Structure 1
């Protein structure tokens, strides 16, 4: 059993080319072999075609040096660690944990830790690259990272989750830190897991280090406004895009795929601003009411673990998740997982504006179809950046030991989101680009500028 694996690439050589095996927690009694073909290599630098396409398109517009593009397309460090955990029944299970650190030209690595059965090294690599562009676009001094474990956290007890998180953190102690790499919550994790990570890291170095993670509970240095930050950012970005189109947020019809942390917060804030949320969904299915849903009632209903497919209130029609994506509405907000709008359904999307609250919810083929049909897509690196913005604000507060009230946090978030949207719109207008390539040219260009100023070591 390999304890940890560190990969690096340079020129035409891969410095490590082995296979490792680990116990698959979802196939009892069997082992799985994971080839390094699941991670980037010189022959396949970008994590996936979509990441390559967006970077390449920006590089062509910016006329970048191919060598610089190769640097930006290659993760700086890829870590895979073995995470053995003693389960409540006394048996030991071994999970594979990943952390990909894409680029630190602008500052420390920053990105979430994901617990989900579908986590793969390639997915984590893609999301790490997205984080680099997101931070650059928002003008905050971070590089991109992402981490995760392929596990369904709902099948583990609280004790098992704690042991999993603490062991995973202990394997990464040398590779994370307030000035190195700052994890945050993601799918399947939250303030509780961040508290365990902070405590484990602090115990390992011998003193409290609240800046090692963001998204912590308020009692140990978290920031007010962090829980709803991504959803609030989605609403701000949507409001700005509707205003550009001559439409108002008040009265706009919204369909939201995903009713987790981001989707739920966005739905509640949309409703507070007078928008009409007509559809919601979770993994079980969705609900639809053209006259608008009661979001607070829906949130209360699912709080105890109930699913939207069981929603019992009158006037609400049950719908399947795919049906939600093609409902007539002003704004479609995919807030679940990636690759939800595809070549198979893009032609049937009836929204005027797609706001990507999830990471990479639109495939390349779907993006092209939506563009040809005149559907505006607000890209993920802008639309869902509210979380990393307030993570940055939490980090700043933690380093200074001076904490703000929620009003100040929200004002700072508003300022950064509005400013970023204005820059993207200006770029799109000036160069006659859709919003996605406009956002990527700004983000990639900022990283390249910093790279050129710093130079190539040695």
Structure 2
């Protein structure tokens, strides 16, 4: 695997905390990837995430679309977002990274941050937008920016369209996997780690498709109900960080330890909160048939090998959670408008095609879905380079 194009580590002069930026690849001089904030975030972690973004962009390459695939990048700050000093650290990080953001790194929210917080900090840092580097690639910047703003202003049953796009994609990947295995939606049980932006939206779409959500974990622990949780009630009772107010629980709901989601009696596990949460030491607890990686890098490679040996399929993050990034660009470039129904339809079509292709390749080649996805990336990156040039 080639080294990243650019790797930067920054130290905050006020708190001593560190932040990182890794640009894995540029396409037409621009890269895409979110900014995360969590205690313990490392350069190695950000490097892996940046490579993952290169793959997500390549996987959604369509030569007939207006959406131009970008290169992959990622930012990360080693700071607890609940720390009172975190917002100041964020603003200073953005000021330090301003030359990169203005020229070739487009970014948005990731773990530990909301888009609202990112936008506010970007403005305070003196910049126009967190995605301004892509503006020169647009045919009509004013219309494109208005379209994206309208899309983020759209709400569906009380939740913003921007918060739902990624979960719609995760859910669709799960549904495709179930269909290929002949597994009916009704009676299929789901356990999720995380009820934030990605986990909450995934839970909603899967529940509305007819699956039964039996467990959800947040920072306070796991909420479980073998007969099924009231997903809409839990979503309405969560705070900005995805923590559920326990007063909203029903009599049949149980409170279990935080790690209980992993061993839940469910066919589908959805880690949608943190990286590296399934490793060699705990993978034996998994009873599910599928793990859908809504979070970035939640299953460690050694654990995935052991899971595969037990017949458990990991649907990889570079496929499963890629709709969040793609939806931004589909909307900005004009492949889809700000209408929620049109957005969901486009996400479903694209994710069905992508997930289906990856699972077909895995079955035909006798490989894991992750290996199949990597093979698809290897097919598409040269085509992108041939069309737009190579920056390595």
TM-score, scaled relative to structure 2: 0.84
Summarize deviations over 1:224-258 as a string: whole Å, max 9, x none.
Answer: 42211111111010011100000122332111111
Aligned pairs for 1:289-300 (under 5 A) are 289-300=225-236
Deviation, structure 1 residue 385: 0.9
How far, CA to CA, are the matches of 2:19 and 2:130 in structure 1? 23
Alignment CA distance shift 1:209-1:423 (3 Å)? same
The 2-side partners of 1:358 and 1:280 are apart by: 14
Alignment partner of 2:22: what SS?
Answer: strand
Checking the alignment, whether the CA contact within 8 Å between 2:237 and 2:245 is kept in structure 1 is no
- How far residue 107 of structure 1 moved from its aligned partner, in angstroms, is 6.3
Q: Deviations over 1:246-300 (max 9, x none)?
A: 0122332111111221111111222222211000001221011110001122223
Q: Which moved more, 1:182-191 or 1:345-354?
A: 345-354
Say which of 162, 166, 175 aligns to 1:239: 175
Structure 1 runs of 4+ aligned residues shifted over 6 Å read 216-219, 452-458
Deviations 1:317-351 (A, max 9, x none): 22223222112211111112112222222233111
Q: Which position in structure 2 is the counterpart of 1:11?
A: none
- Asked if residue 332 in structure 1 is aligned to residue 260 in structure 2, the reply is no
After superposition, the Cα gap between the structure-2 partners of 1:292 and 1:209, relative to the gap in structure 1 and judged at 3 Å, is: closer
Cα deviations across residues 197-217 of structure 1 (Å, max 9, x unaligned)?
Answer: 55357x45xxx5574289x99
| Equivalent in 356, 364, 377 of residue 293 of structure 2 | 356
Count of aligned pairs = 368
Moved more, 446-455 or 370-379: 446-455
Match of 2:350 in 1: 416
3-state SS of the aligned residue for 2:287?
coil
Which fold has the larger relative contact order, with Cα–Cα distance below 8 Å and residues 6 or more apart in sequence? 2
Q: Secondary structure at the match of 2:277?
A: coil
Match of 2:72 among 144, 150, 172: 144
How far, CA to CA, are the matches of 1:273 and 1:442 in structure 2?
29
- Corresponding position: 1:252 with 2:188: yes
> CA separation in 2, counterparts of 1:273 and 1:95?
43
Q: Which secondary structure state, in structure 1, belongs to the residue aligned with residue 162 of structure 2?
A: coil
Structure 1 pair 246–219 and aligned structure 2 pair: CA distance change class (3 A): closer
Label 1:343 to 1:194 Cα distance change in 2 as closer, same or farther (>3 A): same
| Counterparts of residues 335-346 of structure 1 (less than 5 Å) | 335-346=272-283
- Rounded to whole Å, the distance in 1 between the matches of 2:218 and 2:209 is 23
Unaligned runs of at least 5 residues, structure 2 = 62-67, 135-144, 155-160
Q: Report the Cα distance in structure 1 between the residues aligned to 2:246 and 2:218, rounded to whole angstroms.
A: 11
Structure 1 residue 184 corresponds to structure 2 residue 108: yes
Q: Name the SS for the 1:298 alignment partner.
A: helix
For residue 220 of structure 1, report the CA deviation from its aligned partner: 4.7
Q: 2:100 aligns with which of 162, 175, 179?
A: 175
Give 1:169 shift: 2.0
Shift of 1:457: 7.5
User: Which of 443, 448, 453 in structure 1 is aligned with 2:377?
Assistant: 443
Q: Which moved more, 1:349-358 or 1:423-432?
A: 423-432
Shift of 1:99: 1.1
> How far apart, in 1, do the equivalents of 2:121 and 2:241 lie?
25
Where does the alignment leave 5 or more consecutive residues of structure 1 unmatched?
1-68, 85-91
Give yes or no for contact 2:147–2:332 (8 Å, CA) kept in 1: no
3-state SS of paired residue (2:298): coil
Q: 1:457 to 1:233 in 2, by over 3 A?
A: closer
| Contact 1:331 1:352 (C-alpha < 8 Å) held by counterparts | yes
**1:28-43 residue pairs with structure 2 within 5 A?**
none
- What is the deviation of 1:132? 0.9
Q: CA deviation at 1:304?
A: 7.5
CA distance in 2, matches of 1:405, 1:367: 38
- Measured in 2, the distance between the counterparts of 1:167 and 1:153 equals 14
Relative distance call for 1:151 and 1:109 in structure 2 (3 A) is same
